Amino acid sequence: MKVYILTLFPQMFPDLLGSGILKRASDRELIEITVRNIRDYAHDKHHTTDDYTYGGGAGMVLKPEPVFEAVEDIVSEINNGIDITIPVILLTPQGRLFNQQIATELSGYNHLILICGHYEGVDERIREHLVTDEISIGDYVLSGGELASMVLLDAVARLVPGVLGSSESAADESHTGGLLEYPQYTRPPEYREWTVPEVLLSGNHARIAQWRREQSIIRTQERRPELMGKADLSAREKRFVEGLQKKK
Ligand code: ADE
């Protein structure tokens, strides 16, 4: 997968890309991340990327020309004359709310272009005529789209086949299958007076799997009840949830 990030602050990215899973993924050539400065596509003497908002009001707005040119430049590099559709994603608090399902959907593309929005807004023509998707990482306002693009990139990269080793498989994680993850323990079996649940020491794989599944359900029901409606549950598990609700 090739990911292109357009930003006014390229200096924010090297640490992220040079460590952890993203570094490993690019070392193994599973992901290639290119960070481009929007300012490099501004042609005037001062490399202007923002301007006053028409109609008045506080704050500067990201100008359309450098953003259009940057995206068109990338698209023509990728396409080589062949017409393929590449998601062009604007990170903005006005976008659809990012979640694991969207991360999975985006992990299926060969190319992504991420535009880090300006904290005070972008010219509406960028939204209307360039961008194919707008994504928010939460209902709060960041100073720019950079941190949001990093969050998206991390969540998407770990779903690209081969990026996680088999021992780190995404299959059991929170939000995979719509439930939160079950509680986990490691050695020692007793720490202070707190013991590891007996079932986990039993070696009985079927009982352990059932316990984990039930714990995931209990945890999701307690902490994020709004997720339960979409969770993938068997008939027996649905009865288990009804039992939990009756106990309340
Ligand atoms: N830019 C500023 N705030 C944001 C948010 N919550 N999500 C995505 N991009 C943003």
Rounded Cα–Cα distance for residues 62 and 49 (Å): 6
For 88-113, the pLDDT digits (tens) are 999 999 999 999 999 999 999 999 99
Q: What is the DSSP letter of 180?
A: P
Rounded Cα–Cα distance for residues 244 and 237 (Å): 11
For the Cβ of 93 lying below 6 angstroms from any atom of ligand 1, the answer is yes
> Pairing between strand 50-52 and 88-97?
unpaired
What integer is the mean pLDDT of 179-203? 97
Centre of ligand 1 from the C-alpha of residue 120, in Å: 11
Centre of ligand 1 from the C-alpha of residue 93, in Å: 4
Crossing angle for the helix pair 235-247 and 205-223, to the nearest 10 degrees? 50
Residues whose CB is less than 8 angstroms from the CB of residue 219 and which lie 6 or more positions away in sequence, other chains included: 179, 180, 181, 182, 183
For 168-186, the pLDDT digits (tens) are 677 778 888 899 999 999 9
Q: Which long-range contacts (CB under 8 A, 24 or more apart) does 190-195 make?
A: none
pLDDT at 162 over 90: yes
Centre of ligand 1 from the C-alpha of residue 7, in Å: 13
Centre of ligand 1 from the C-alpha of residue 207, in Å: 43
**Which of the four pLDDT bands, split at 50, 70 and 90, describes residue 165?**
confident
Centre of ligand 1 from the C-alpha of residue 2, in Å: 22
**Which of the four pLDDT bands, split at 50, 70 and 90, describes residue 58?**
confident
For 140-156, the pLDDT digits (tens) are 999 999 999 999 999 99
List, in sequence order, the alpha helices (H) in 35-170: 64-79, 100-107, 124-129, 146-157
pLDDT value at position 83? Answer: 64
Ligand 1, atom 9, residue with closest C-alpha: 92
For the Cβ of 194 lying below 6 angstroms from any atom of ligand 1, the answer is no
* Cβ neighbours around 43 below 10 Å, total: 10
For the Cβ of 137 lying below 6 angstroms from any atom of ligand 1, the answer is yes
For the Cβ of 66 lying below 6 angstroms from any atom of ligand 1, the answer is no
* pTM of structure: 0.93
Min mean pLDDT across 17-21, 33-37, 81-85 is at 81-85
pLDDT at 234 over 80: yes
Question: Cα-flanking dihedrals φ and ψ of residue 108, to 5°?
Answer: -85, -5
What integer is the mean pLDDT of 72-78? 93
pLDDT at 167 over 80: no
